[in-house]
Structure 1
């Protein structure tokens, strides 16, 4: 029995996820689309469990697992095999460690793989092609555990029900256990998020992120598919189609609004935001269930049922395809191409391949297909794609060129810290003036940067004369300020101070940048290396940071701009196939970065130093 209007719930979840991945800076909360899917899955699975128990007075665990296997596993295998040949279109760095990613995806452990490897759902230099399968892992863990719980409850209900029916016992126990697990899961997320800067561990974990499933489970017990509790029947009798449609609308609109206002890095998201999304999803499901009962003579639009049918496979395809296409074409075009190709591949998978793999007849394009008809073409293509999978995995680098550059830069960074400590000791015993200050400011250049600088520090150190470099990944302006002040207090901050920060600009970038300018000691010349992000828009903090730095250079004559933002934008080739921020150790990028910095230092040479107060 297919419930009409449930398609709109699935489509809502899909829209939220796609817009989040395609336009992450504008639709910052679209990740709640996963919570919509989770809630719907919990509802549907539990409602079907109730129907099965009502019909047979039993729940067959292995039959349940078999149905889940054929619905989830074949599409996943197919998507992995189909996507990998397309990786030849982009930089080889994007298949770094791909074997481990595939193993995690196919074993439904991607969520814990990402936690173990310190993966982030939002910010990775080289995004994992199958990071989105973390949600399948959580879903599969839910099915395994909830199936066992339902099996045990079914046995208890049959054995110990006396004064009330076994169905009532089954429903009551399912609802009670689901409620307890929903509360427990949410509390572990809410408490576990306290003190975190990166929320990925509580986001990915099956323990902390399973509460949407159990919220859906409670709803599934209440409404069911074919069998309902008396309270639901009373509600159905009191509402009509417009009211049911209104319930859907008043839950849909806040879900879309949350997609705009929620943020992955906000603790509010984990201490109430996602629970609210799950409750709204449940309300929308409830409204759809009511609307089904009150529209017996109205059919769902064909486009809606089609998109609902292929939504799972579209989810599987869209992320790796988007990663590939977004590094081949502008973002909007990549989003369009990704959506079209995902829908086509998903339709072939859902309507033809999945049924015949399960031993059923497939019906598509007015034709009927059977395994006997398709077995040889399917087996040959599968064999070719499997061989390709092995070739991609075997040739995949274990460390990307960017990671290698950062690793080498980190080694030099550690070595230089020894030299910096040595210089600080010498400065401490150097002759002092009457006012206690060290006589003179050390000549040369102090470069303070983030991961972009760290990735090119070997080349930079050899091509920027008399320079010292202190660079670190994920460094923000407030951290750069601390480095500058520590060097200044140790009297090792050199005459020219180059600040290469801004890509990781936080909301307080203006306050921190102004603070750095104000607290720089007299006698120094300040050079801002403007940040660059190929995907940034005018609303991004990194873009605003560059604008502020240019304004400060006009206001203070001791500040110079080394315009990396402008130079990098004029040379897009050095970012081809990268994340659009780092040039992955490419020589052309190293050369350009050093040239821009040296040009800034050349211009600063003819400017005055910061005057005394």
Structure 2
């Protein structure tokens, strides 16, 4: 009879804290901008547990049984993840609204545990808010599984040539290298590569593994299960400080900020190490983390993590924009219920009895019915029908999934049209001659002349990109600088660069506020200084359900009201409540909406 593995109940509480941080971040990122740090807590805990398990198994068996370890990992991770992927793929057919866009690559990445690298290769932005991929969250499981495949062999070979202490030191050195690479590859425009790469984000797993190799006492070590009272006091203090640091990080540090990538997540991983060590010993912090509700959530944290994100995507795609947070909360509650079922009927049977035996047990009632030619019970007919429908739906969804959503295709077309309109030469390389400039200056900027005899310089974010076909169709002399994901700071910087080059048209169009707040004081300075002498059109943003809409809208309207040379193109008022004019994300204009956007912009100048 095999010896029962030692346990540390407080570690389930650490899992619960980690998954709660991640879930809150996904439901309301503006409330908890740094909640993504929960993933790094998971990484540290996983590195610690996996290394401890390998060392304990090797101590009992006097060798590393790597095949057995990998089989146990497969039982633990693969069935629940596969079931989620199949069901979610089928649900994309039911939900619609472009939730199946890019599904083929998402499913392939999820099933092969390489989702993070597929996201990099496909150019998906991790923080995409409009239409995020429904399996976007599997990047972290890809990093963990890749670590599980490689690390046991490295550990076994490493201990052949060096001591535990030296190997722990080597792991910390590798962790520092990984964190440094994250900082080096950080791109403020889109940090996805730095965030989801295995090479750049493996440091948490390595730090956790180094803790397991260190000669520190904890309950999972059969040779030294307890610590002295003094050691427990130190662990408690460090663990409490680490927990406070993690909560502060979650409340204050945004995902895209430089601090996150240039040391922030490394510090958070070290704080997680302290929490894990305290939770793995008999400390007051471990007792608090061992409370029954936390342990219940922690035991089901894998299933909650698997299900919460796709259900949030489905719910927020269906719900009205002003009910997005409520829809997210309901989706999380549903994910907890589904995770509980997954834990009972999928995860535990697979871990205890193995994948093959569990599958045979599921099929055996049907085999008995067929063998004895009995009339099947209603519940078996229903069960088989539902399972069959889900499998057929999943295969159909994957086979028919478009590579891009309609919105993505629209934005790509808009970017191409804007680039083509700009031409090969930069505006600064071919300024208008004096005669043309004088003629333009004497021509009033109205809805009839703007974009034809009067040049327009436009600056904005993805809403301007989506409206590009209609804008250019009626304003061929429009030249736009706009990019998906741009914040106000990016738009303002582009305007200032163009002004410094003398490359602005008589009319300057600015559309911003889709992705965040608008700095009213800075926008006012921009209008009064760099744009003095130009006719300025400010487009009011429409981003329903986003926490920053009220502030951004107020800033744009206030600047327009306070400056005589500024006209307000009230896109917000024109499109509010008219979802038929918007893409599936309810923010970007579709083809009809783009025509309305153009009429609003031209109408702001009057003269028609």
Counterpart of 2:535 (choices 525, 541, 552) is 525
2:594 equivalent in structure 1: 590
Q: Is the 8 A contact 1:530 1:561 kept in 2?
A: yes
Task: For 1:141 and 1:280, locate their aligned partners in 2 and report how far apart those are by CA, in whole Å.
Answer: 24
Q: CA deviation at 1:577?
A: 3.3
1:117 equivalent in structure 2: 122
> Aligned pair in 2 of structure 1 residues 205, 295: CA closer, same or farther (>3 Å)?
closer
Q: CA deviation at 1:323?
A: 0.8
3-state secondary structure, aligned to 1:281: helix
Q: CA deviation at 1:574?
A: 4.0
2:376 equivalent in structure 1: none
1:227 maps to 2:231: no
Q: CA deviation at 1:20?
A: 1.0
Q: Is the 8 A contact 2:236 2:283 kept in 1?
A: no
Question: Is 204-213 or 442-451 further displaced after alignment?
Answer: 442-451
Deviations 1:143-164 (A, max 9, x none): 111111123245x27xxxxxxx
Deviations 1:239-280 (A, max 9, x none): 56x876665433322211110111222222122211121111
Task: For 1:58 and 1:569, locate their aligned partners in 2 and report how far apart those are by CA, in whole Å.
Answer: 67
Q: CA deviation at 1:98?
A: 0.7
Counterpart of 1:7 (choices 9, 12, 20) is 12
Deviations 1:409-445 (A, max 9, x none): 2333234224997998583263787xxx986358522
3-state secondary structure, aligned to 1:519: coil
1:411 maps to 2:416: yes
Show the 5 A alignment for 1:303-382.
Answer: 303-329=293-319, 330-357=323-350, 360=353, 370-371=361-362, 381-382=386-387
1:187 equivalent in structure 2: 180
Q: CA deviation at 1:373?
A: 5.5
> Aligned pair in 2 of structure 1 residues 306, 521: CA closer, same or farther (>3 Å)?
closer
1:249 maps to 2:240: yes
Task: For 1:58 and 1:185, locate their aligned partners in 2 and report how far apart those are by CA, in whole Å.
Answer: 29
Show the 5 A alignment for 1:51-450.
Answer: 51-153=56-158, 156=160, 171-172=164-165, 174-193=167-186, 196-221=188-213, 222-227=216-221, 233=226, 235-238=227-230, 247-291=238-282, 300-329=290-319, 330-357=323-350, 360=353, 370-371=361-362, 381-418=386-423, 427-428=432-433, 430=435, 440=442, 444-445=449-450, 446=456, 448=458, 449-450=460-461
> Aligned pair in 2 of structure 1 residues 432, 458: CA closer, same or farther (>3 Å)?
closer
Counterpart of 1:511 (choices 522, 539, 542) is 522
Show the 5 A alignment for 1:19-34.
Answer: 19-34=24-39
> Aligned pair in 2 of structure 1 residues 597, 374: CA closer, same or farther (>3 Å)?
farther
- Count of matched residue positions in the alignment of Structure 1 and Structure 2: 567
Show the 5 A alignment for 1:551-590.
Answer: 551-572=558-579, 574-575=581-582, 577-578=584-585, 580-583=586-589, 585-587=590-592, 589-590=593-594
Question: Is 272-281 or 395-404 further displaced after alignment?
Answer: 395-404
1:536 equivalent in structure 2: 546
Q: CA deviation at 1:210?
A: 0.8
Deviations 1:561-598 (A, max 9, x none): 111123333334544731x4213x242x2343234324
Task: For 1:226 and 1:426, locate their aligned partners in 2 and report how far apart those are by CA, in whole Å.
Answer: 73
Task: For 2:443 and 2:429, locate their aligned partners in 1 and report how far apart those are by CA, in whole Å.
Answer: 13
Q: CA deviation at 1:34?
A: 0.5
3-state secondary structure, aligned to 1:94: coil
2:372 equivalent in structure 1: none
> Aligned pair in 2 of structure 1 residues 383, 245: CA closer, same or farther (>3 Å)?
farther
3-state secondary structure, aligned to 1:269: helix
Q: CA deviation at 1:301?
A: 3.9
Q: Is the 8 A contact 1:28 1:262 kept in 2?
A: yes
Task: For 2:437 and 2:580, locate their aligned partners in 1 and report how far apart those are by CA, in whole Å.
Answer: 51
Task: For 2:199 and 2:348, locate their aligned partners in 1 and report how far apart those are by CA, in whole Å.
Answer: 33
3-state secondary structure, aligned to 2:560: helix
Deviations 1:462-514 (A, max 9, x none): 4x567625252235322441475379x35x724x4432233245775642552
3-state secondary structure, aligned to 1:129: coil
Q: CA deviation at 1:333?
A: 1.6
1:365 equivalent in structure 2: none
Q: Is the 8 A contact 1:328 1:577 kept in 2?
A: no
Task: For 1:472 and 1:294, locate their aligned partners in 2 and report how far apart those are by CA, in whole Å.
Answer: 50
Deviations 1:510-534 (A, max 9, x none): 4255224422253x43221112212
> Aligned pair in 2 of structure 1 residues 431, 116: CA closer, same or farther (>3 Å)?
closer
Flag structure 1 segments of 5+ consecutive residues without an equivalent: 158-168, 363-368, 607-613
1:162 equivalent in structure 2: none
3-state secondary structure, aligned to 2:567: strand
2:482 equivalent in structure 1: 472
Task: For 1:413 and 1:186, locate their aligned partners in 2 and report how far apart those are by CA, in whole Å.
Answer: 38
TM-score of the pair, normalised by structure 1: 0.83
1:18 maps to 2:23: yes
1:610 equivalent in structure 2: none
Flag structure 2 segments of 5+ consecutive residues without an equivalent: 1-5, 368-379, 451-455
Task: For 2:554 and 2:404, locate their aligned partners in 1 and report how far apart those are by CA, in whole Å.
Answer: 35
1:481 equivalent in structure 2: 495
Task: For 2:234 and 2:35, locate their aligned partners in 1 and report how far apart those are by CA, in whole Å.
Answer: 27
> Aligned pair in 2 of structure 1 residues 477, 173: CA closer, same or farther (>3 Å)?
closer
> Aligned pair in 2 of structure 1 residues 295, 172: CA closer, same or farther (>3 Å)?
closer
> Aligned pair in 2 of structure 1 residues 438, 569: CA closer, same or farther (>3 Å)?
closer
1:493 equivalent in structure 2: 505
Q: CA deviation at 1:16?
A: 1.0
Deviations 1:60-95 (A, max 9, x none): 010011111111111110111122233235444221
Q: Is the 8 A contact 1:553 1:561 kept in 2?
A: yes
> Aligned pair in 2 of structure 1 residues 249, 573: CA closer, same or farther (>3 Å)?
farther
3-state secondary structure, aligned to 2:543: coil
> Aligned pair in 2 of structure 1 residues 12, 398: CA closer, same or farther (>3 Å)?
same
3-state secondary structure, aligned to 1:190: helix
